[in-house]
Amino acid sequence: MQQNHPMTTYFNELVNAVVDIVKIDSTRQPAKDGFPFGEGVAECLRFFLELAQSFGFETKNYDNYVGEVIFGEGEDFAVLAHLDVVPVGSGWKYPPFAGVINDDPSDGGVLGTKIWGRGTIDDKAPAMACLYVLKALKDEGFIPKRTIKLIVGCNEESGWGCIEHYKKVAKLPEEGFTPDGDFPPIYAEKGIYHFFSDFKIENAPFTSLKAGEAANMVCPDAYATLTKEAALLLKDYKNPIANTQFFFNEERSELHVKGKSAHGSMPQLGANALQAMLAFFASFNPSVKRCYDVLFLDCGGLKNLQDETGPLTMSPDVATYENGILTVLTDVRYPATLPLSAVENILREQNVDFRIDHYQAPIYNDPKGRLISTLTSVYNRATGKSESPVAIGGGTYARALKCGCAFGPTHVSEEALAHQPNEYITLDCLRLISEIYYDAIKELTK
């Protein structure tokens, strides 16, 4: 962090704004007239745009799908952020929409050093930091030679309907970055492929089964009502899946498996409750074993696909059981230089009954191009490091741009907090990213 940086003046105000916006529950809710993703995220968008208006910026609200803050003239430059958040899940130390600044020494270190809540990292605090960057630049009299469009979407976590709507009613800039990934700059993102697969279960050991909350969240909880035979087998079963726990209610014959959530692109950081549950059923039921072998043991070898952007990851995260069919929704992140057909061909070879739910093509930018090289230089100068651009499995708004990348807010080596309980941002991180985004936006638009 730099001494006497222009963002220092705005820091306390920024902290208060982050706390306020985190208090708004912006998880996706059923659509209503005028509220395509529910009233909560629309309220969050209203709050953000009204704050921007109070700073003197021109703003636009595109039908509560997406909004933008406009500053400057000339060729468009995008900063793409989002205000919606994933479901909160369970296991929170503080209420997820309270915007608590920690008051417990057990949270680590000095009191008051972290803001807790859903969206603090992904992506409300970074979005708010970028808004205050624009305010700081405007207040100092900076005149950008490009039109900076701070675009804030309301549906990034569950389908990108916000960006699709924006493309219909406005012109999306060709170049920019999103503060919704990792540092250093991300030059490539793997392809994202969510698919449903159906498995017919003979002599099902359960009468009901439900697991997971979202395709891009490692399954934290799984529930099933067991048959009498399965309940008897459970008594002597030893769960082999690390960091998962079994809880059985004998009166209701209900099994609850608890795991640990993580981002779907990094399943190794979580503990998949669905995996633990299906491992139990697979130990004695051939139909479930077939499902388990394909999706968790990867008998087809999908995870052998890899390139410079890393190996394929696979995370089966949501499951339901109905009319004898177990349906599983799986999150796959495949190497950026490979075609989608490489994934689908392996599924076909395994005779898997699958259908697409969601797809985003990979992106690949020249690490030595102006955008990536400038952001790399800004990051290294601010941190005193000497790092090179990286590739990730996460999917960001950068894919919407002809030339775009993800840029922060956390370092690729740091603990992943997005999509997990007890999400937080440290005040040091908030201060650092506000300075980095200030330098980056000014450098790329001067």
Q: What is the pLDDT of residues 330-376, one digit of tens each?
A: 999 999 999 999 999 999 999 999 999 999 899 999 899 999 999 99
Q: Write down the pLDDT at residue 416.
A: 77
For residue 103, what pLDDT is reported? 63
Asked whether the predicted pLDDT for residue 112 surpasses 80, the reply is no
Counting residues of the chain whose pLDDT is more than 90, the rounded percentage is: 88
Q: What is the pLDDT at residue 324?
A: 97
The pLDDT-based confidence of 107 (bands split at 50, 70, 90) is low
Q: State the pLDDT at residue 104.
A: 66
Give the pair of three-digit tokens for residue 192: 């994202």
The answer to whether the CB of 99 falls within 8 A of the CB of 19 is yes
Which tens digits make up the pLDDT trace of 230-250?
999 999 999 999 999 999 999
Give CA separation, 243 vs 40, 258, 272, 278, 288, in Å. 33, 9, 9, 15, 22
336-349 residue pLDDT tens: 999 999 999 999 99
Strands 325-334, 206-211: parallel, antiparallel or unpaired by DSSP?
A: unpaired
pLDDT for 430 beyond 70: yes
- What is the pTM assigned to this prediction? 0.76
Please write down the HEC assignment for all residues of the chain.
CCCCCHHHHHHHHHHHHHHHHHCCCCECCCCECCECCCHHHHHHHHHHHHHHHHCCCEEEEECCCEEEEEECCCCEEEEEEECCECCCCCCCCCCCCCCCECCCHHHCCCCCCEEECCCCCCCHHHHHHHHHHHHHHHHCCCCCCCEEEEEEECCHHHCCHHHHHHHHHCCCCCEEEECCEEECCEEEECEEEEEEEEEECCCCCEEEEEECCCCCECCCEEEEEECHHHHHHHCCCCCCCCCCEEEEECCCCEEEEECECCECCCHHHCECHHHHHHHHHHCCCHHHHHHHHHHCCCCCCHHHCEECCEECEEEEEEEEEECCEEEEEEEEEECCCCCCHHHHHHHHHCCCEEEEEEEECCEECCCCCHHHHHHHHHHHHHHCCCCCCEEECCCCHHHHCCEEEECCEEECCCCCCCCCCCCEEEHHHHHHHHHHHHHHHHHHHC
Q: How confident is the model at residue 395 (pLDDT cuts 50, 70, 90)?
A: confident
Q: Are 313 and 332 in contact (CB under 8 A)?
A: yes
Q: Is the pLDDT of residue 109 over 60?
A: no
pLDDT for residue 108: 60
Task: Retrieve residue 267's tokens.
Answer: 């399943």
At residue 110, does pLDDT exceed 70? no
Could you report the per-residue pLDDT of 163-184, keeping only the tens digit for each? 999 999 999 999 999 999 999 9
50-54, 111-115, 206-210: lowest mean pLDDT where?
111-115
Complete domains list, the chain, with CATH: 6-190+363-445 (3.40.630.10), 191-360 (3.30.70.360)
Q: What angle do CA 177, 47, 63 make, to 5 degrees?
A: 75
What pLDDT shows up at residue 415?
80
Question: pLDDT-derived band of residue 417, with 50, 70 and 90 as boundaries?
Answer: confident
Q: What is the pLDDT of residue 102?
A: 82
pLDDT mean over 116-120 = 96
The confidence band for 90, taking pLDDT boundaries of 50, 70 and 90, is: confident
